[in-house]
Structure 1
Amino acid sequence: MVERREIEIFLTVGEELHFGRSAERLRVSVAMVSKTVQKLERSVGAALFERTSRRVAFTAIGRRLFEDLRPAHQAVLDAFARAVAAGRGVDGVLRVGFLGTATAEFVVRVAELLRTRHPGCEVRLHESRFTDGTAPLREDVIDVLLIDNFAAPVSTQAPELTAGPVLFREAPMLAVSARHPLARRAAVDVAEIGRYEVLRPRASPDRAVRTSAPGQPAGKAVPGQAARWAVPEGAEQLFAWPEDASSYPLGGAPAGGAAGRGAEFGSVQEMCALIGAGRGVYPVPSHASVYDARPDVAFVPIKGAPAYEWRLIWLSAADNTLVRAFAEAARDYVAAHPDPLTAPA
């Protein structure tokens, strides 16, 4: 096996074509340079340099090896340099994931604040789907994810994830068809939701991830969903998908309707289209009533349900100064704006 130092000596001799200058440049003895070249030649089975008392020149094999190794060696050095720059300096590209229109605008405003502090930063946005969960982080699609406690309950996060503090909270609302009986209500109790067809985020078993650490109890699993769709404590009735009418909390399905497990969706647009068509209902954060408003969908406040809590999460192994700077900018933006999802005047 060729060692890194041996490659460096060979490349330096190839650049200098002089053993003495190569030794001086590398701060080693001429004897060390000569022994290393001889060792490499034995490994290759042929001479790499033609050496006389007056000159050093490549052999044909030596030149080919030099031309093959030099760009590959430089690529390795460049990769390490970029890693060091990302780890030590607040510059470079940060990929931030979000879910929904309002959170996208929040991420954009935080990115603008970050750039005023660190002009060398570039933030690239990535819209996640309901079914993605934390997969984009684990698959190296994004570096940071703005996510709520229903999509990734903090109490059941895997230990390899770092979660920042709660940035803001939102009251839950039930999105229903404008023709639905609940659309005329001032509010709906969380215990009533199980009477209606609740839409389901489409499961992706091939991308499912654990939401609990090995050996620890997981959050309560959402029926029929991938493992990542665990429900936060106290929110079970928001996602009530009973198998039969006898299990409905208020004595069965509403008259004239077949309650149960609703249709599946993968994006906000799919969810709204299904709700507008009367295919089911779904709990959403309150900002959806403004950013996802449409004439065929109504939003009804939910009583007795926990709030949506939004925070940034990232892989602990990918933690660096750029990630932390973005998290700090997010906290500072929220501190300066009582309603962080509303554009500043």
Structure 2
Amino acid sequence: MTEAIWIVAEREPARINPVTFQLITKAKAIAQGKKVVVVLLEAPDQQFEQAISEYGPDEILLGQNAAYAQASDEVMAAALTTLAKEYQPNAVLFGATPLGRSIAPRVQAALQTGLTADCLDFFYEEDLLVQVKPSYGDNVMCEITCPDRRPQMASVRPNTFAAEKVAGTTPAITPVEVAQTTGPQGRVVDETVRVSHATGIASANKVLALGRGAATPADIASAREIASRLGASVGVSRPLTDLPDFTVEQQIGQSGTTIAPDFLLNLGVSGATQFIVGMTQAKLVVSVNRDAQAPIFAQSDYTFTGDAAAFITALKQRMN
């Protein structure tokens, strides 16, 4: 068993998914002397190792094969399983993305170890990786461990942690070869970035969030006008996804999207735990709620106690 924390690099058509960089930064913060190793399986012409190097991992296990460009999830999982059996890392971390959620359980089942999904935090207690995630309707934080099996495996949603580049570091790059899985396999014919009719909130620099206290058609229309003028995306708490105006893609929270904007304006959001865990990486938070004891206020830099609808009207008038 090696004292290494692995991060599985997730490739997109033209870049590395930012969750990979976020996991590298988090792993370095909790490593306690363990090596932070990124596993990158790519086609020879992709060369994503330079982008990964900027975030300061100790080592990159680099597998290059033309077949990886169009490899199925089963093939990628089989390759990771083979490498994990050979190198025996202490822990393996994945992004809780559609790809990560497909590959991670396959690796977990093959290695007969544990896997905790959608974690909000990790930390080590000696050799034990403590994996923190909500439970009981997202109202209780649980600490989950895997004491008897290795590697310890977990996934985390994008934007749960911040990513920080590290200047002046040159990680070791170790080439690895994995025999291709035989037998009938699917392959990826094409990858196309999905275009949503909703304004994306996951990567937005500014977000205006609406809750139950700002859910009338007039509130929503005015909020969208304000967001347009601010250059912000509109997000919502879970109850508003029941309205025809919004989709689950615009939901902020543990069961929705985790956001990390520079500016977040919460209007009529009470601040349930499920919502708060999705906005902890926001840099400047302003919240409006008529309840002076609303939990959202404890997570905010600036607060206004009052009617959110009246606040929206006044703000819209001020901006005219």
Instruction: Compute the TM-score of the two structures, normalised by the length of structure 2.
Output: 0.25
Which of the two has greater helix per residue?
A: 1
Highest RCO, 1 vs 2 (Cα 8 Å, sep ≥ 6): 1
Which of the two has greater strand per residue?
A: 2
Larger radius of gyration: 1
